[in-house]
A and B are shown apart, each in its own frame.
Chain A
Amino acid sequence: MTRFLRGPVALVQRLSLWLASAMLAIDLLAILYGVFTRYVAGGAPIWTDELARYLIIGAVMLAMGTVWIEGGHMRVALIERLLPRALGRLLSWYQWLLTLAIAFVGAWISYRYAQSVSMFTSQGLGISRTVPVMAMPIGFAMLALLALCHGPRPLPTLHEEPEPETTP
């Protein structure tokens, strides 16, 4: 990743993780609100269940790219350490290209899918089903963007510190 890209990528990472975490916090509050209204106000609104589901899906998709660049997705990073340098580099290229391909195709087909369900309305919130489903293309597009900026370099593993964001 060039020095020019490091700042914007770090900003995207921080923002997406912040937003996803805020969605998780709102999700917790929505569920607690549902319990509170059921036992205190005498009846729970039907939208809390749906809002909780959509918020978590949104949080997961938003954080997917950031977790990828941090090396937080579960994987077995054993063989790449045992390979000679040249083969290791080839493997990093393959991992990167496959991730990019899946992220781009995922963004495209899930965008098309999100548009195809626009005529359906969700039961609880009464919104178009396109709204929650759009979390998928946004998530895959962010993964594609972050993977593109990261380049074909090896990913950090879960027990390694991620690469520092700025160079001295």
Chain B
Amino acid sequence: MTLAMLAVFLIHVLLGLPLFIALLATAVVGFFFVDVSMIPRMMPQQFFGGINAFSLMAIPLFILAGNLMNASKLTDRLMALARLLVGHLRGGMGHVNVVSSVFFAGVNGSAVADTSALGSLLVPAMRKEGYSTAFAAGLTAGSSLIGPIIPPSIFMILYASLTNTSVGDLFLAGVIPGLLLGVAFMTMNAVHAWRIGLPKRGGWPSKRELAVTALGALPALIAPFIIVAGIVMGVVTPTESGALTALYVALYGVVAGNLTLPGLWKAIVDTTRLTAAIFVIMAASSIVSWLLSYAQVPSQFVELLTPYIDSPVIILLLLSLITFATGMFMEEVSALMLLTPIFAPIAMLAGIDMVHLGIIITLNITIALITPPMGACVYVAAAVSRLEITALFRTIWPFVITALVVLMALILFPSLALWLPTTLG
């Protein structure tokens, strides 16, 4: 049954059907194996139930906050600060790309939005500095992976709702891995800049210049602290935190005179479009997920991995391998929705902390955003750079390997993820 469902799903994905249609078709085939008479009751019930959770309401609100940040021109201020901090180094524009992604990640949990917003501005700037288009686009796509790791994160909210894990702990656990990704990509960029002989430009900025720019970017810089502190201290739920962040960014935009009523409405409409695209996949995935549970796939999976139960590292490596391979051929939200309920029981048996597992799965799923043939960030980076997609797929692998090195470090040293939630949570 599982193989038939997998085959139906992959065929329909390759045939170019929207993923939610492919998932619904897969579910219909699955019901033929289980009990076809359950279709009229279970399909609508699971579809509705899959998106009927208050914690999931945080997703559109954080997307809205990100869109409002763009409309309020806060993104420009963050980039100006990044340019001032690292723009004068060798390969400065590449560093600006990575640091901007770190800043951007603090308000927007979407890697695709990061690639689209920063790529259109920074790829031409990097090209002007002497980078090849392929490297500039690759670095833009690669550094956008920081978005879903540093809080807030759409994937973490989803994982938390599936496993009853604290969103606050997950958000805290994502901070160090996100910064590690940033350091890894900056190191890679520095080596590349040195190899192709890029010059240094200018010197350190003056203290006054730095203070003025930092002050301009402050409203965006403090947003992640408000989000995380509010949730961790139990003052607000993640959903309320999303609403407050959206309100905060909108108020800032209005006060600064950058956000007009049409701009506000456009941000809401764009959010509605993206929310609809994400939520129908979640709803359709929950039917397939229910079918897999009904067919006892998670317990069969536990039996399969029981010989390795004493070694959490091997379990995490195996789970990562499966997630990585799945992520290459499956859209990230559906992969997360389908794999998490299967992985959670074996991880619990192996004594793996659920927050640690959440970070590993989130990073794996995020890396899939830049792997061929379905990496959404690569498609967006290619589109904004006007680069042939196949050319970018050929040059993206060093960025994938860099992210995998960070993943490996997180598997081997769980404290990299767990230290912050243990200390502050």
Contact = CB atoms under 8 A, between A and B. Distances in A.
Contacts of A155: 18
Given A63-B273, A63-B276, A67-B276, 6 more contacts: A59-B272, A70-B273, A73-B20, A74-B376, A95-B17, A109-B40
Contact of B277 (A34, A72, A102): A72
Contacts of A158: 379
B48 interface: yes
A67 B239 contact: no
B18 A113 contact: no
Interface of B: 12-22, 24-25, 28, 39-41, 43-45, 47-48, 51-54, 56-57, 60-61, 64, 236, 239-240, 242-244, 246-247, 265, 268-269, 271-277, 279-281, 283, 331, 373-374, 376, 379-380, 383
A149 interface: no
B51 A57 contact: yes
9 contacts: A24-B60, A28-B64, A28-B246, A52-B239, A57-B48, A76-B14, A91-B16, A109-B43, A136-B48
A148 B383 CA distance: 30
A137 to B, nearest CB: 9
A78 interface: yes
Contacts of B268: 21, 24-25
Contacts of A76: 13-14, 16, 373-374
Interface string A72-109: 11111111100000000001001100110010001001
A106 B25 CA distance: 11
Closest 3 CB pairs of A and B: A73-B18, A113-B44, A63-B276
A159 interface: yes
Contact of B57 (A52, A106, A113, A159): A52
B326 to A, nearest CB: 14
B136 to A, nearest CB: 18
B271 A73 contact: no
Nearest to B40: A109
Given A76-B374, A159-B379, A20 B15 contact: no
Interface of A: 17-18, 20-21, 24-25, 27-28, 31-32, 34-35, 49, 52-53, 56-57, 59-60, 63-64, 66-68, 70, 72-80, 91, 94-95, 98-99, 102, 106, 109-110, 112-114, 116, 132-133, 136, 155, 158-159
Contact of B52 (A20, A57, A70, A95): A57
Contacts, number: 161
B39 A109 contact: yes
Contacts of A94: 15
Given A24-B64, A67-B276, A76-B16, A35 B236 contact: yes
B5 to A, nearest CB: 16
A74 B15 contact: no
A133 B48 contact: yes
A114 to B, nearest CB: 8
Contact of A75 (B18, B41, B246): B18
Nearest to B17: A95
A73 B44 contact: no
Given A28-B246, A73-B277, A56 B15 contact: no
Contact of A110 (B44, B52, B239, B271): B44
